[in-house]
Structure formats: C-alpha cells, structure tokens
Amino acid sequence: MVIAAYALYEGNGVTLLWAPAGPGWDRDGNVTWTKAIEQASHLTEDGLSLADEPQNIWRLPTREEVVHSLTRDNLNAGGTWNPDSEQASYQRKPDKESPLWDRFAPLIYLWTSESRDEDRAWIVVYHGGVYAKPKALGAPSNGFRAVRDPMEE
C-alpha cells in the first residue's frame, strides 16, 4: 500500500495539509501528547524529517479541525464542534479511512493541540468521539498527525 506524501483536505470549512507518513504522522502509536507536540514543532518543511531545533511549520490540529475533517465513504461526515458542550456531532458517523487515517495501522486516536487541564489533553477517535486522555499515555492506539496551512507550502 502506498500512502500519499501529503493529504490536502478541503471541506466543511477546513483547509489543511496533513503530514505524510513518517515523523509527522505516527501510525504505530505509543506516542504521548508531549512527544507529539514536540515532534510536530521539529518537522522540516516537507514533513519527512525532524530538525534539531523547532521549525514551527507544522502543528497538531485542534479538536474542531479534526471533527470537521472526518469522512465516511470518501465524503465529509458533516462534523460540527460545540465548544460550550465540548461535544461533536455528525451528519453521518465517520470511519477510519483515507485521506486522514491509515486503516491498516493500529492507531485509532489522534492527539489534538488542546489541553483539557494540566494532566490531560484532547484526542479524537476515528469514529468521531472526542475525549480527554492523560498526556503521559502512550498506548499503541495513541498517535498524531501534524497539520499546516497549505498557504505556507
């Protein structure tokens, strides 16, 4: 299976460039939130390697960006994010499919850039659920995919 270098996603009010497979798209899991934040900030412009110093080109997406980007049957799932209730809703339930997910990878949770509190950060599940998980949790199902504004390309 070949994974595209980048995934440019436009839809539902979001336009983002999602990192290619490699250090900006960890598909193997076992990544803590702190490591995900650090790794995204060190990604080089092409997203294929890590620099010694922060580059601040790439970042983790927000909860709202992930919710708005999820798909089902190659169509946007119509996700909306309610910041007051901190709940996502969808016109159709999202699934683990391209271009945002590698359906063959163990990864099912994506870390977001947002902290819930000092010890927890928000993750989004491929099926659209949004939960606060311990930042130190590096389970096989936890990973990340860095994003950036395509205008910076």
Question: For the chain, what are the domain ranges?
Answer: 7-152
Q: Which residues make beta-bridge pairs with 10?
A: 15
The 10s digit of each residue's pLDDT in 37-59 is 999 999 999 999 999 999 999 99
d(CA 101, CA 141): 12
Place of tokens 């919710």: 67
3-class DSSP state for residue 82? strand
User: pTM above 0.75?
Assistant: yes
- 58: Cβ–Cβ under 8 A, 6 or more apart, which residues? 19, 24, 40, 41, 43, 47, 146, 147, 148
The 10s digit of each residue's pLDDT in 69-94 is 999 998 999 999 999 999 999 999 99
d(CA 99, CA 114): 22
